Structure 1
């Protein structure tokens, strides 16, 4: 069994950028994390260090509850995309716009650094392990409005599904639903429109594109 990180290494992991996984620490700390497979050194200057998927899992285990509630706003000021509905706390105004823009730019940079060909037009491994958060960030960054806590509130709701690598996007306004689909396709997701058998409501099923 792999030895858990030391207290000093865990502090470095916990302090990583929540979106890009960029690390700050001493050379010895960063080298030790690389040796454990929890970080990697980017081959391009300035050769910063970033969390690997295993490092992200350790960080998430320290800062969140189960996987999908992690998409809800987290304590301590850590950025969380709004997924819509009762799990969201209202966040509005110019500060939130700047925060979302910064997170989206960070995610594009993470794509550039971790996709083998440096592509930014398709999702990276982090997005595939944080499907709800990733899809919600793409929607919020494009200006779509998440639903409020009321059951019939307008706006999008992003939810996990039983299908691997797929999320459901609900939006009561059909035009807005189509706009959400266009945004996700532009962000590198494969999107299909479906009908719920019981309610006949339309919804999107979206998966990260691989090629």
Structure 2
């Protein structure tokens, strides 16, 4: 049975960028994660380190032991807005830069993990984080997420294994969301909820 990561390694894994899996740590820590198959070193400069699928599974699993008191949870990590939450601190140009950086990082992750280096279709991380991935594509495409009570898009999980629902009260904005998702490598169809008569998109990552 594979040994669990050390407390220091676990902190490095937990602090990985949620959108790209990019790691920060000492060279010794990163090299140790590479040896264990939990990270890989990008072959091109600046030779950043990223989580492998095994590393992502460790990050998403519950820790096997309580976190040490002296290791507080990382703060300031990027999270795409799915709609319905309060507007984050630092909204405006700073948020735009964060979204742009996260999207560029995700495109780089697609390129690195696709056998042919393609960036026009979602990667494994996106398929494992459907709601966050779709929300990032929409926010990066310039769409406005809904606040607690306002208009805008809302991305929600569905019972279907590889699909999310996108709600937007403005019909024109809903169609624009569909076009943005299509450019980002998703496929979608527009449907009506039988009970509420609300229109929504059912979107899933394109495979080919």
With structure 1 as the length reference, what TM-score do the two structures score?
Answer: 0.85
Structure 2 residue 10 is the aligned partner of structure 1 residue 10: yes
Structure 2: runs of 5+ lacking an equivalent: 64-72
Match of residue 194 from structure 1: 191
Match of residue 117 from structure 2: 118
Report how far residue 60 of structure 1 moved: 3.8
Q: Secondary structure at the match of 1:3?
A: coil
Match of residue 107 from structure 1: 106
Match of residue 167 from structure 2: 170
Q: Secondary structure at the match of 1:210?
A: coil
Q: Secondary structure at the match of 2:54?
A: helix
- Please give the residue correspondences for 1:1-211 in structure 2 after superposition, counting only pairs within 5 Å: 1-61=1-61, 76-85=75-84, 88-91=85-88, 92-150=91-149, 153-211=150-208
CA distance in 1, matches of 2:154, 2:53: 26
Match of residue 70 from structure 1: none
Report how far residue 55 of structure 1 moved: 1.3
As a proportion of its length, which structure holds more helix? 1
Q: Secondary structure at the match of 2:187?
A: strand
Asked if the contact 1:188/1:209 (under 8 Å) is kept, the reply is: yes
Structure 1: runs of 5+ lacking an equivalent: 64-73
CA distance in 2, matches of 1:172, 1:136: 16
Report how far residue 54 of structure 1 moved: 2.5
CA distance in 2, matches of 1:43, 1:100: 25
CA distance in 2, matches of 1:17, 1:193: 32
Q: Secondary structure at the match of 1:203?
A: strand
Q: Say if 1:46 and 1:93 are closer, same or farther in 2 by CA, change over 3 A.
A: closer
CA distance in 2, matches of 1:125, 1:163: 17
- Give the RMSD, CA atoms, in angstroms: 2.1
Aligned residues: 197
Asked if the contact 1:14/1:62 (under 8 Å) is kept, the reply is: no
Q: Secondary structure at the match of 1:101?
A: helix
Per-residue CA shift, 1:82-124, capped at 9, x if unaligned?
0001xx1213311111111111111111111111111111111
